[in-house]
Amino acid sequence: MSTSPSLRRALGTRDAVVIGMGSMIGAGVFTAIAPAAGAAGSWLLIGLAIAGAVAFCNAMSSAWLAARYPESGGTYVYGRRRLGHFWGFLAGWAFVVGKLASCAAMAFTIGAYAWPDQARALAIAAVVVLVAINCAGIERTSAATRVILAISLLALAVTVVALLGGGSSGLGAAVESPGSPSGVLEAAGFFFFAFAGYARIATLGEEVRDPARTIPRAIPIALSIVLAVYAVVAVSALWAVGPAALAASPDPLATAVEAGGMAGLATVVRAGAAIASVGVLLALIAGISRTGLAMARGGDLPRWLGTVHPRLRTPYRAEIAVGVVVIATVALGDLRGAIAFSSFAVLGYYAIANAAAWTLPRGHARASRAVPALGLIGCLAVALALPWQSVAQGAAVLAVGALAFGVRRLVRA
């Protein structure tokens, strides 16, 4: 196989929006709302708004950068071009490590919701199938994501109906336990895990048609739709059972539905959670493999990972490598803390994206540097507000990557 073929530009604005939404819908709604409610209490919606604001700044910075550099790799490419090799490598390292943890978490979620008695085996099987779909071509990834997204949105619509129609706690439960400012920032960090999916659009920059126009349109559209969906679901859940019950449950939306007068619909919620996690995992594998492709092309990962299949035009070796790592993690590990760890790493990734966008010429699709500046400050503040264990683990992993980069440069010198 030769490394010469390029990826096929097959995606339009609608396809890019679908992939971005498929990456976001599911992870936050079905998992992150519980720890976010525990941190922020009835101020949960403020945390959601902060996460959405930071995500919007990150999205616009990413869109401007992707339009200028329509290549696979996302901030790994932007950091190298605008800030230097080290910052590009650190962004790519943070993205790959954080998203590998997210992949394993989503695989575990699929198994836990769909077949609790065989959760680990089902999780591994799901990874194998989804890697095969990605290897078959990005058009198949987009088509599969479209179907999964439609099912997920239908399940969320049923959830909202059940929560509003069957819930009985009302406004009193929703405001029963106000949080603190630090708790709100921590909740924003947990919710950010749900918004990070729009990066999939930027990492697919080499596979969209007319990227200078498509990417800046697709990212804000996908983010706005998902933020509206999350807000409706969060308000409904708070109305139904209140923040304390949400925080105490490993499956908060199903618990909230079961506590009301429409408990029979909880099965739909559980099925929707599993299917949504499939969609997230499918898009995650696509995004990580393309960042790995870019890093291999740049010499920061083994060169053989940069091979593109001459007929399918997919980075099949990088996708298979992602699958192997995720399967090993699922088989050997327990990633219940993966949300906070992944959020910290991805916030670091976007901090570098905002710093890179800051250096763009002032006339390049933006009026000022306010958006990347706010995004950078927001990323750092929210990341440091996460639980200290996750902050320490994330900082250590980033330090290991930086050390490996420095050692390699010294050896080459």
The confidence score (pLDDT) of residue 365 equals 52
- The yes-or-no verdict on residue 349 having pLDDT over 90 is yes
Mean pLDDT of 221-245: 88
The confidence score (pLDDT) of residue 4 equals 45
Q: For the segment 383-401, what is each residue's pLDDT rounded down to a tens digit? A: 999 999 989 999 999 999 9
For residue 3, being part of any structural domain is answered with no
- The yes-or-no verdict on residue 171 having pLDDT over 60 is no
For residue 381, being part of any structural domain is answered with yes
Q: Considering Cα of 340, then 286, then 407, then 84, what sign does the dihedral take?
A: negative
51 or 220, higher pLDDT: 51
| pTM metric for this prediction | 0.82
For residue 6, being part of any structural domain is answered with no
DSSP secondary structure string, 54-115? HHHHHHHHHHHHHHHS-STTTHHHHHHHHT-HHHHHHHHHHHHHHHHHHHHHHHHHHHHHH-
For residue 321, being part of any structural domain is answered with yes
Q: What are the percentages of helix, strand and coil residues in the chain, rounded to 5?
A: 80, 0, 20
The confidence score (pLDDT) of residue 185 equals 94
Please, are residues 367 and 320 in contact by the beta-carbon 8 Å criterion? no
178: β partners:
41
DSSP secondary structure string, 1-39? --S-PPPP--B-HHHHHHHHHHHHTTHIIIIIHHHHHHH
Distance separating alpha carbons of residues 129 and 138, to the nearest angstrom: 15
Cα distances from 207 to residues 221, 240, 314, in angstroms, run 19, 43, 10
The confidence score (pLDDT) of residue 324 equals 94
What would the two tokens of residue 359 be? 């250096």
DSSP conformational letter for 313: -
Mean pLDDT of 287-303: 82
Supply the range of the domain harboring residue 104.
13-412
- The yes-or-no verdict on residue 366 having pLDDT over 60 is no
Q: For the segment 78-96, what is each residue's pLDDT rounded down to a tens digit? A: 999 999 999 999 998 998 8
Q: For the segment 9-63, what is each residue's pLDDT rounded down to a tens digit? A: 667 778 888 877 876 776 567 888 888 988 998 899 999 999 999 998 998 898 8
3-state secondary structure (DSSP) of residue 403: helix
Distance separating alpha carbons of residues 142 and 84, to the nearest angstrom: 33
The confidence score (pLDDT) of residue 79 equals 93
323 or 18, higher pLDDT: 323
DSSP conformational letter for 116: G
Question: Residue 104, class by beta-carbon neighbours within 10 Å (0-12 exposed, 13-18 middle, 19+ buried)?
Answer: buried
For residue 5, being part of any structural domain is answered with no
For residue 368, being part of any structural domain is answered with yes
Confidence of residue 1 (pLDDT cuts 50, 70, 90): very low
For residue 4, being part of any structural domain is answered with no
Q: For the segment 240-249, what is each residue's pLDDT rounded down to a tens digit? A: 888 888 888 7
What would the two tokens of residue 55 be? 């995500």
CB atoms within 10 A of CB 318: 29
| Percentage above 70 pLDDT, the chain | 86
3-state secondary structure (DSSP) of residue 256: helix
The confidence score (pLDDT) of residue 135 equals 85
Please report, for the domain that includes residue 121, its CATH number. 1.20.1740.10
DSSP conformational letter for 368: -
How many domains does the chain contain in total? 1
Please, are residues 242 and 179 in contact by the beta-carbon 8 Å criterion? no
Q: For the segment 129-157, what is each residue's pLDDT rounded down to a tens digit? A: 999 988 887 555 566 667 777 888 888 89
For residue 104, being part of any structural domain is answered with yes
Of 2-16, 179-193, 382-396, give the range with the top mean pLDDT: 382-396
Please, are residues 352 and 299 in contact by the beta-carbon 8 Å criterion? no
Which H/E stretch holds residue 388? helix 388-412
The confidence score (pLDDT) of residue 223 equals 87
